[in-house]
């Protein structure tokens, strides 16, 4: 007898460790009472009874949770504690019976809810569909459309349904719309629920899992082909080119043997890839020179790419503030006028582009002038730091900026045209430093703002970590080749 108790107790303790927390209290109570019973019985009796009690195995087999949806949940017959002296078996039995009862109760509750709310019908929105048509196809009339569309806060989102999105209707046996799901994407949906007085809605937003992913490639003919081979999407390739585009001209400068490697984010939901996230760190070797860029978000929430020593990857100015088709006239301070044969300098660059192509602010600054000037037509002057002024002339339309208004690099300020003295649609672009016209195509452009002093310690930590990670991936890959 003395031997039996500690042995049983040890085994129970081992089992307790495997139990979910919520079962612990019940289990320990049972264990205590079983041990108490065992203490009361002579050891011979324990042996004898163990052989005598037929255990009904079936009662303890786990069953499919939803096999008996229509019946009320019942707990399988429990063995009588008083007549069962096998601590282990009764322990297992109780646990399993309890879990089974719980599963059944859940299944029953789910079934009851299904009865009350009805079945789901999923409808994918097609071009030309509208709410009335979609609701009608589910046997729901105009008053239901009206009610749902007037749901506080989110009802109006239904006014902008688009092809490819879906509506999921839940309609019960009485034909009442009990729930509606407007699925905008894998990550975003609006959930409508019928209450006593109309519908209530909430937005459900899922966040994807982010997997950092490594890729590398060596260029044979073009960056595009090499990155495709490395498994990069077209968007990611454009982003990569954008990061290094300030230092490397991807049309002129690329040579066979140039290489890149990068760590970027991939977004997953339930094991399925949704798309790419940001490039975290990347390096690009062009004609033997290696450039490295680290993504960093400062304490103001501004995100930019920086060199390992904290310089901006960007310049303070775009080289060309428009996507042009060709350069129709270069900067030429000694140009002779084609007709008058007098010195008529061309103090900017003419970029020919289709009518209404957006014209971008070359750098951050303030609007000095936005309006009409003889010769220039519709023109914008932007004042930048360090006495730089940029000029954008012959616009078809202006973007409506006011004098003194702040503009950011890349912001659209006007649209290409041929107003003023111009024969075809083009942008006449000037770059003036201290009032002197400089060649916009060759003027040395200052770097954009570096990492702020008070961010430097933080940046260095992140920068070193990211470069080490990039390096580790590169070495691992080399070792497996």
Q: Which stretch binds Zn ion (CB under 5 A): 77-85, 138-146, 276-284, 344-352?
A: 344-352
Based on the shown chain and the rule CB under 5 A, indicate whether residue 360 belongs to the binding site for Zn ion: no
DSSP 41-65: S-HHHHHHHHHH----SGGGS---T
Q: Please identify, using beta-carbon distances, which residue of 350 and 455 lies nearer to Zn ion.
A: 350
Q: Please identify, using beta-carbon distances, which residue of 108 and 428 lies nearer to Zn ion.
A: 428
Least Å distance, CB 363 to Zn ion, is 20
For residue 349, with 0-12 CB atoms within 10 Å meaning exposed, 13-18 middle and 19 or more buried, which class applies?
buried
Least Å distance, CB 391 to Zn ion, is 10
Q: Which stretch binds Zn ion (CB under 5 A): 95-103, 298-306, 342-350, 466-474?
A: 342-350
Q: Please identify, using beta-carbon distances, which residue of 93 and 427 lies nearer to Zn ion.
A: 427
For the chain, what percentages of helix, strand and coil (3-state, to nearest 5) are there? 30, 30, 40
Q: Please identify, using beta-carbon distances, which residue of 254 and 393 lies nearer to Zn ion.
A: 393
Based on the shown chain and the rule CB under 5 A, indicate whether residue 258 belongs to the binding site for Zn ion: no
Residues 118-177 that bind Zn ion (CB under 5 A): none
Sheet containing 188-195: give its strands across. Answer: 119-124, 166-171, 177-183, 188-195, 198-205
Specify the 3-state DSSP secondary structure of 13. Answer: helix
Q: Please identify, using beta-carbon distances, which residue of 258 and 350 lies nearer to Zn ion.
A: 350
How many alpha carbons fall within 13 Å on the CB side of residue 296? Answer: 30
Based on the shown chain and the rule CB under 5 A, indicate whether residue 347 belongs to the binding site for Zn ion: no
Q: Please identify, using beta-carbon distances, which residue of 296 and 331 lies nearer to Zn ion.
A: 331
Helix (H), strand (E) at residue 236: helix 234-244
DSSP 149-187: HT-TTTGGGGGG--TT-EEEEEE-TT--EEEEEEE-SSS
CA distance 404 to 369: 8
Size of the site for Zn ion (CB under 5 A): 2
Q: Which stretch binds Zn ion (CB under 5 A): 15-23, 44-52, 180-188, 420-428?
A: 420-428
Q: Please identify, using beta-carbon distances, which residue of 239 and 350 lies nearer to Zn ion.
A: 350
Q: Which stretch binds Zn ion (CB under 5 A): 131-139, 261-269, 347-355, 396-404?
A: 347-355
Least Å distance, CB 376 to Zn ion, is 9
Least Å distance, CB 349 to Zn ion, is 7
Q: Please identify, using beta-carbon distances, which residue of 175 and 333 lies nearer to Zn ion.
A: 333
Least Å distance, CB 421 to Zn ion, is 9
Q: Which stretch binds Zn ion (CB under 5 A): 41-49, 157-165, 196-204, 348-356?
A: 348-356
Q: Which residue is nearest to Zn ion (CB)?
A: 428
Longest CA–CA span in the chain (Å) reads 128
Q: Which stretch binds Zn ion (CB under 5 A): 19-27, 132-140, 157-165, 346-354?
A: 346-354
Question: What's the sign of the alpha-carbon dihedral 137, 139, 144, 148?
Answer: negative
Based on the shown chain and the rule CB under 5 A, indicate whether residue 455 belongs to the binding site for Zn ion: no
- Helices 87-117/21-40 angle, 10° precision: 140
Among 108, 428, 432, 462, binds Zn ion (CB under 5 A): 428
Least Å distance, CB 315 to Zn ion, is 23
CA distance 94 to 31: 11
CA distance 406 to 380: 13
Based on the shown chain and the rule CB under 5 A, indicate whether residue 437 belongs to the binding site for Zn ion: no
CA distance 212 to 13: 42
Least Å distance, CB 286 to Zn ion, is 32
Least Å distance, CB 350 to Zn ion, is 4
Q: Which stretch binds Zn ion (CB under 5 A): 260-268, 317-325, 424-432, 465-473?
A: 424-432
Least Å distance, CB 303 to Zn ion, is 36
For residue 287, with 0-12 CB atoms within 10 Å meaning exposed, 13-18 middle and 19 or more buried, which class applies?
exposed
Q: Which stretch binds Zn ion (CB under 5 A): 23-31, 94-102, 425-433, 440-448?
A: 425-433
Among 91, 239, 265, 350, binds Zn ion (CB under 5 A): 350
DSSP 66-89: TTTSSSPP-PPPPPPGGG---HHH
Q: What is the 3-state secondary structure (H, E, C) of 283-344?
A: EEEECCEEEEEEEEECCCCCEEEECCCCCECCECCCCCCCCCCEEEECCECCCECCCCCCEC
- Binding positions for Zn ion, rule: CB under 5 A: 350, 428
């Amino acid at each position: 007898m003395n031997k039996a108790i500690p042995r049983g107790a040890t085994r129970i303790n081992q089992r307790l460790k495997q139990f979910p927390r919520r079962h612990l209290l019940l289990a320990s109570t049972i264990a205590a009472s079983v041990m108490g019973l065992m203490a009361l019985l002579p050891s011979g009796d324990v042996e004898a009874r163990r052989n005598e009690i037929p255990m009904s195995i079936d009662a303890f087999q786990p069953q499919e949770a939803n096999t008996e949806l229509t019946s009320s949940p019942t707990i399988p017959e429990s063995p009588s504690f008083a007549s069962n002296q096998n601590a282990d078996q009764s322990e297992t039995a109780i646990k399993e019976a309890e879990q089974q009862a719980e599963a059944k109760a859940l299944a029953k509750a789910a079934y009851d809810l299904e009865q009350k709310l009805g079945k789901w019908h999923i409808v994918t929105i097609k071009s030309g569909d509208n709410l009335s048509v979609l609701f009608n196809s589910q046997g729901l009339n105009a008053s239901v459309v009206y009610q749902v569309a007037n749901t506080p806060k989110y009802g109006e989102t239904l006014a902008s349904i688009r092809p490819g999105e879906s509506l999921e209707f839940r309609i019960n046996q009485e034909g009442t719309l009990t729930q509606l799901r407007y699925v905008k994407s894998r990550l975003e949906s609006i959930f409508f629920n019928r209450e006593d007085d109309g519908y209530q809605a909430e937005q459900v937003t899922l966040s994807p899992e982010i997997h950092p992913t490594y890729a590398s490639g060596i260029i044979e003919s073009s960056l595009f082909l090499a990155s495709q081979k490395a498994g990069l999407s077209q968007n990611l390739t454009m982003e990569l080119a954008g990061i290094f585009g300030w230092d490397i001209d991807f049309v002129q400068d690329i040579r066979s043997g140039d290489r890149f490697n990068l760590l970027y984010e991939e977004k997953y939901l339930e094991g399925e890839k949704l798309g790419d996230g940001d490039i975290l760190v990347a390096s690009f070797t062009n004609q033997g020179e290696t450039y490295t860029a680290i993504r960093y978000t400062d304490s103001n929430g501004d995100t930019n790419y920086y060199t390992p020593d904290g310089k901006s990857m960007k310049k303070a100015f775009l080289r060309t503030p428009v996507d042009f088709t060709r350069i129709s006239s270069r900067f030429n301070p000694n140009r002779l006028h084609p007709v008058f044969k007098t010195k008529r300098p061309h103090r900017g660059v003419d970029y020919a582009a289709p009518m209404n192509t957006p014209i971008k602010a070359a750098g951050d600054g303030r609007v000095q002038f936005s309006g009409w000037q003889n010769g220039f037509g519709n023109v914008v002057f932007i004042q930048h730091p360090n006495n730089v002024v940029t000029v954008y002339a012959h616009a078809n339309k202006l973007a409506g900026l006011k004098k003194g208004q702040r503009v950011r690099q890349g912001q659209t300020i006007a649209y290409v045209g041929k107003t003023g003295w111009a024969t075809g649609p083009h942008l006449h672009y000037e770059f003036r430093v201290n009032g002197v016209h400089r060649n916009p195509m060759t003027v040395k452009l200052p770097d954009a703002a570096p990492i702020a002093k008070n961010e430097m310690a933080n940046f260095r930590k992140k920068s070193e970590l990211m470069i080490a990670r990039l390096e580790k991936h590169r070495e691992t890959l080399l070792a497996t080749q």
